[in-house]
Amino acid sequence: MSSPRAVHHFVSPVKQVDTGLWTLFAGATTFLGVRIWCKLKRRHGLWYDDYILLVCWLVLLATNIVITYEMANGYVTKSWGDQMLMLISISSCGTTISQTWSKTAFAVTLLRITDSLKKKGLWFCIVSLNAFMVLKVFMNWAQYCNESSYQNYWRMQGFCLDYVAVSRTKAAGNIWNIVMDFVLALYPWMVIWKLKISKWEKIGLCGTMSLGIVVAVISAVRQSWMDSPATSNYDDWYFWHQGLSMVWYSAEVTGTIMVQCIPVMRPLLGEMKTSLASRRLADAEDGRSITGEMKRQESTRSTPLRPSTTVDHDTENFILAELQSQAQRKSRMVSHVSLTPSEVDRAIEASRTKPLEWPLSGNEPPVIGSSRAGG
């Protein structure tokens, strides 16, 4: 059974939807790839939250493929056939699942750093989010009472649901998603602020782990926009509004994935900063050596010399020795710059208690994570 539309001359959102979906997906893929690479590079291994994010990424990929196929095969038409209606239900379910599991992954991450009381609150968030997900997926495949457009053969037979109740339940689920975004964004402040680390480290870590507040704002704006009467009117802009809503939903999912990857990327950014600082230190040391040599050479040239027909072997030996000394210093500095990640961590930790000394002696404090393991 087809779903009729009463108006014509619809504005097509195909290009905007395809561009928006795949641009957001590329961003999420990049961030997630760097997250996985950082964990494997440090031999930390993957945990449950990583696997949930990977599954969420696969669901998002499949959903984007289905939506792209919809757009290319008659989404913007006067009526929808059964095939198109099935594809829309599939993509709607994919969006709902990826929404829920992206938030679930972050809640699972927080489970690792919370005590027993706060864990109960996180489990409530996880269970309630997934309960709404199952309910909304179930509703997508049910028949609606007294609604001829929802009596298709491929829907579940033998019962029907009230259309108004379904609409309210879906709206409640969307609002609950927004509430959970705010709750999960504030959770790190309750947990990390009690740790025995410096104030600025607390602010930095809490800030990166609370970027989900941006996703919450995006979700709230999207929901307000979707509830606007102009969005659901069957006018020339109907499909445009529906298409942009797909981009809004995708932005929520991809944003949730990306903000979870940023805290894991902080050590990588720290290594890059330390490497650049070490390189600048090496360049400065090299510059001082060259300047000192030039001054000594200038001093030697300014000294009055008596005419002589013999070769000044002492001066030549001095210059050769100085050049050799300079090369040795440069070689040592290059070897100090090429630090392993663990050496960089030790250098950063040592710099908190005393100025960084080069070269590292090997007796520096242990890495950050292990130094607080017993605290």
Q: For 156-180, what is the mean pLDDT?
A: 92
Q: Which pLDDT value is given to residue 280?
A: 64
The answer to whether the Cα torsion of 155, 156, 157, 162 is positive or negative is negative
- Confidence check: pLDDT of 240 > 80: yes
CATH architecture of 12-265: Up-down Bundle (1.20)
Of residues 112 and 307, more confidence is placed in 112
Over the chain, what is the mean pLDDT? Answer: 78
- How far is Cα 22 from Cα 25, in angstroms, rounded to an integer? 5
- How far is Cα 323 from Cα 318, in angstroms, rounded to an integer? 9
| CB within 8 Å of 240: residues ≥ 6 apart | 10, 11, 12, 13
DSSP readout, 61-78?
A: HHHHHHHHHHHHTTSSSS
- How far is Cα 210 from Cα 187, in angstroms, rounded to an integer? 8
Q: Which pLDDT value is given to residue 299?
A: 60
Q: 2-12, pLDDT tens digit by residue?
A: 454 544 588 99
Q: Which pLDDT value is given to residue 358?
A: 42
- Confidence check: pLDDT of 234 > 90: no
What's the pTM value of the predicted model, to 2 decimals? 0.69
User: pLDDT above 70 covers what percent of the chain?
Assistant: 69
CB 344 within 8 A of CB 368: no
Q: Of the ranges 35-49, 169-183, 224-238, 318-332, which one carries the lowest mean pLDDT score? A: 318-332
> Which string of b and e fits 161-195 if b means at least 16 CB within 10 Å?
beeeebeebbeebbeebbebbbbbbebbbebbeee
Q: 129-165, pLDDT tens digit by residue?
A: 999 999 999 999 999 998 888 889 999 999 999 999 9
Tokens for 196, please give them.
Answer: 């025995």
CB atoms within 10 A of CB 311: 8
Instruction: Tell how strand 156-161 and strand 142-144 pair up.
Output: parallel
Of residues 292 and 104, more confidence is placed in 104
User: Looking at the chain, how many residues does it have?
Assistant: 375
| CB within 8 Å of 219: residues ≥ 6 apart | 174, 177, 178, 181, 252
User: pLDDT above 90 covers what percent of the chain?
Assistant: 42
Domain with CATH 1.20.1070 in the chain: 12-265
Tokens for 364, please give them.
Answer: 């520096």
| Chain centroid, CA 178 distance in Å | 19
